[in-house]
Amino acid sequence: MKKTLVLTMTFLMSTVVLWGQEADRLDFNLSLRSNHLWRGITVSDVPIADVDIHYALDNKKNLKLGVWGGIGLSDHKGEHYHEINYYLNYATKMWGLGVWDVFNSTSLTGKPADIWNYDHKTSGHRFDLRGYLVFAESFPLRLEYGTSFYGNDRNERGDQRWSSYGELNYPVIRGKAVDLRVFCGAGFGLTGHSHFYGNGKHDVDVVSVGFTASKNVPVLGYKLPVSATAMWNPSVKQARVQIAASLF
């Protein structure tokens, strides 16, 4: 598996070098967040910085190959958040589809997961198929969906749970000084088993309900995109707020 991964990465890097003349296809973004919330899960309770490095594989920049990574800016109860994900994603204004290799190496105790281990029974990697669909420009209700299909999504017997997540979100205020989007998401297991989004007791749970307010904040002549999110997870009886800024 190590050799396969090395060969794959070598091929991908060679492809980027061959297309190096298309310099505008390569880009990266940086964001700061007060914590890391994802599909109702509090992934990290400490402030984080996350970077998205991506390369567009087509002229319209719809198809992108990238690396998304996050790092905790402080410790919390011995935890130091680290995450690196690889993805291939196709996205337009109205729909998108992608495959992600998610690897969160945060460890409270013991030895961190081995990044080179891709054995489906012991790997710390989790492969995720995800996508979204916007119903219409005049009615921009957005459906988001994701299913884990390999790796670190196993029950106590070691069986794959196929943990899935579906969310509806809608921009109730658009084009104003402050925009507002509301969302509601549920977690479920495709095989009828429990899933990792909830408390582990039910096959289907509402795990994410809330809203996000966003605006551009003037900073030294630059408009800084800032968002504030309030999120409740009824399944685990938890709530969080988050402030986030996209630096570039």
pTM: 0.88
Q: Kindly tell me if the per-residue pLDDT of 20 is higher than 70.
A: no
DSSP-derived secondary structure letter, 10 = H
Measure the CA–CA gap between 153 and 52, rounded to whole angstroms: 24
Measure the CA–CA gap between 34 and 100, rounded to whole angstroms: 24
**With pLDDT > 70 as the criterion, what percentage of the chain qualifies?**
88
Architecture of domain 28-246: Beta Barrel (2.40)
pLDDT tens string 117-153: 999 889 999 999 999 999 999 999 999 999 999 999 9
Average per-residue pLDDT in the chain?
90
Domain boundaries, the chain: 28-246
